[in-house]
């Protein structure tokens, strides 16, 4: 296909791309993770008021991400083995069960458990969708960039829209509404998937014992333990020295590495990471990128409510510019990603991170007008599409088709690790007792993370062409 045929608007049935209907059908379920992770940002205070306790409230955020960090690689592996379309539908059923039960649980502790179940369910759609895209692109010889871009739009845009939806729903019908919203979305996605997505190829039957072996329960347990202890340690870092906890984390990680190197079906496939360094590097970039991403979507709403004393509805509306610009940047990145290398997308996205973080430092404080805040919020939406699509394209090109689901699951786990790290950053930067509420410190973190990624990307752009010229043809 010539370059001229890729310019301008592509017709709906352009044989160069995977069908748009397939891409949007897959994207219809990936909206659930971003939406549910972000909606709760403006519902935490009403939940604390109803249950009369705020001590466990922070875990309502991190519990979903810890569960998703486990569910994403497990879902990717199961998609490779049992069929991605089947796993996608299973995830939708789990989301529906958690959404129905959530508003009726008797305590905040049970609500945390429900969020764990919700996190497991919403973590499956993305790796399953990427495995389906990879398989269909391989079978048909069509371009996967457009379909990957659509899935990126659905996931990232709804994450940005989540605080707005959550604020409006919470103001209208109370915090249970953030669970009810899922029900029509789940039913729509299930119908669309059954009508549009081709059925999985026939897979060999596996016993229950073989399935449990595939999930690597010992490795999964060590991963969860290390992540939970790490979260507790980081959240308590300013209170008192916890060297014993640091040692415990190091020991758990060492045991995890030893276990995964010997496991026949590891939870975290270190052999894949070692054989394909691009996967490992992309996952590392994703952790840093999504730390910044979630600092915006959890930090900014908390600052608006605690320092500017806005209600959930107003806070949600002020997050709309992030949503709108995030959608536009993702569409633009998907459009130009057909002609530009992924590194150039990352160059633009990381530069925007630095600029947006600096804008928070220089122009936002407790006395800033809401118009200025809305403008900065729009700027904060710019990096999302470029960074996410650039990383996904590098992952797509750097992983073998036989491990597409597993590689995508590792990428998704990296996103959730970044989300967990962001809760620590937000907890230690925002301060209701300071005049400006800590928003400048939050902006400095975003700018520093962006600068680190920008330098790393520039170095990679300089090294990679030289390495390719040295490789034998």
pLDDT per residue as tens digits for the range 39-48: 887 787 788 7
pLDDT per residue as tens digits for the range 302-316: 788 888 888 878 888
Q: In what helix (H) or strand (E) does residue 76 lie, and over which residues does it extend?
A: helix 58-82
Residue extents of the structural domains in the chain: 16-198+267-464
78-81 LR contacts (CB < 8 Å, sep 24+): 78/214, 78/215, 78/405, 79/124, 79/127, 79/128, 79/131, 79/405, 80/131, 80/402, 80/403, 80/404, 80/405, 80/406, 81/203, 81/206, 81/214
| Whether residue 448 has pLDDT greater than 90 | yes
pLDDT per residue as tens digits for the range 360-375: 999 988 888 889 999 9
| Whether residue 431 has pLDDT greater than 90 | no
Q: What is the average pLDDT score of the chain?
A: 82
The model's confidence at residue 2, banded by pLDDT at 50, 70 and 90, is very low
Lowest mean pLDDT, pick from 12-16, 94-98, 467-471: 12-16
Q: Is 311 exposed, middle or buried (0-12, 13-18, 19+ CB in 10 A)?
A: middle
| Whether residue 117 has pLDDT greater than 90 | yes
How far is the C-alpha of 295 from the C-alpha of 419, rounded, in Å?
A: 8
Place of tokens 């998703």: 68
Instruction: Give the pLDDT confidence score for residue 97 in this predicted structure.
Output: 95
Mean pLDDT of 344-355: 91
pLDDT per residue as tens digits for the range 141-166: 787 778 888 887 787 667 667 778 88
| Whether residue 118 has pLDDT greater than 90 | yes
C-alpha to C-alpha distances, 20 to 156, 254, 387, nearest whole angstrom:
18, 45, 22
| Whether residue 173 has pLDDT greater than 80 | yes
- Which CATH number is 16-198+267-464 given? 1.20.1250.20
Instruction: Give the pLDDT confidence score for residue 14 in this predicted structure.
Output: 46
Instruction: Give the pLDDT confidence score for residue 9 in this predicted structure.
Output: 41
Place of tokens 């010229």: 469
pLDDT per residue as tens digits for the range 204-252: 676 667 667 777 888 888 988 888 888 777 776 655 556 777 788 889 9
The model's confidence at residue 15, banded by pLDDT at 50, 70 and 90, is low
The model's confidence at residue 401, banded by pLDDT at 50, 70 and 90, is low
Q: Provide, for the chain, the percentages of residues in helix, strand and coil under a 3-state DSSP scheme, each rounded to the nearest 5.
A: 80, 0, 20
Tokens of 233: 């340690």
């Amino acid at each position: 296909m010539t370059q001229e045929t890729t310019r301008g608007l592509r017709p709906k049935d352009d044989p160069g791309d995977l069908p748009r209907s397939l891409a949007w059908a897959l994207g219809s379920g990936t909206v659930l993770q971003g939406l549910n992770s972000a909606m709760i940002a403006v519902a935490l205070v009403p939940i604390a008021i109803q249950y009369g306790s705020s001590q466990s409230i922070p875990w309502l955020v991190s519990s979903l991400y810890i569960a998703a960090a486990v569910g994403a690689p497990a879902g990717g592996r199961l998609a490779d083995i049992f069929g991605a379309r089947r796993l996608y539908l299973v995830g939708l059923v789990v989301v529906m069960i958690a959404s129905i039960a959530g508003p009726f649980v008797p305590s905040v502790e049970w609500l945390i458990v429900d969020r764990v179940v919700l996190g497991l369910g919403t973590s499956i759609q993305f790796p399953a969708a990427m495995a389906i895209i990879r398989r269909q692109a391989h079978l048909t010889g069509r371009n996967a960039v457009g379909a990957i871009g659509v899935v990126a739009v659905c996931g990232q845009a709804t994450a940005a829209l989540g605080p707005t939806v959550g604020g409006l729903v919470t103001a209208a019908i109370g915090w249970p509404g953030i669970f009810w919203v899922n029900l029509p979305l789940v039913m729509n996605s299930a119908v669309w998937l059954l009508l549009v997505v081709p059925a999985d190829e026939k897979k060999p039957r596996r016993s229950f014992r073989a399935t449990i072996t595939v999930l690597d329960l010992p490795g999964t347990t060590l991963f969860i333990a290390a992540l939970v202890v790490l979260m507790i340690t980081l959240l308590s870092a300013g209170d008192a020295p916890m060297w014993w906890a640091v040692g415990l984390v190091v020991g758990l990680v060492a045991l995890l590495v030893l276990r995964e190197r010997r496991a026949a079906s590891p939870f975290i496939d270190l052999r894949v990471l070692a054989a394909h360094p691009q996967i490992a590097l992309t996952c590392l970039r994703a952790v840093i990128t999504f730390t910044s991403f979630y600092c915006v979507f959890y930090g900014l709403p908390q600052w608006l409510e605690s320092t500017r004393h806005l209600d959930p509805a107003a806070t949600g509306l002020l997050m709309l510019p992030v949503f709108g610009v995030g959608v536009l940047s993702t569409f633009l990145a998907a459009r130009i990603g057909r002609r530009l290398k992924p590194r150039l997308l990352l160059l633009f996205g990381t530069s925007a991170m630095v600029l947006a973080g600096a804008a928070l430092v220089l122009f936002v404080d407790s006395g800033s007008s809401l118009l200025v805040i809305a403008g900065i919020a729009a700027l904060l939406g710019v990096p999302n599409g470029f960074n996410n699509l650039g990383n996904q394209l590098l992952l797509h090109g750097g992983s073998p088709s036989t491990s597409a689901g597993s590689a995508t699951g590792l990428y998704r786990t990296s996103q959730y690790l970044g989300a967990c790290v962001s809760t620590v950053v937000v907890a230690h930067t925002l301060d209701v007792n300071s005049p400006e509420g800590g928003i400048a410190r939050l902006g400095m973190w975003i700018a520093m993370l962006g600068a680190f990624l920008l330098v790393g990307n520039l170095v990679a752009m300089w090294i990679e062409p030289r390495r390719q010229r040295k490789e034998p043809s």
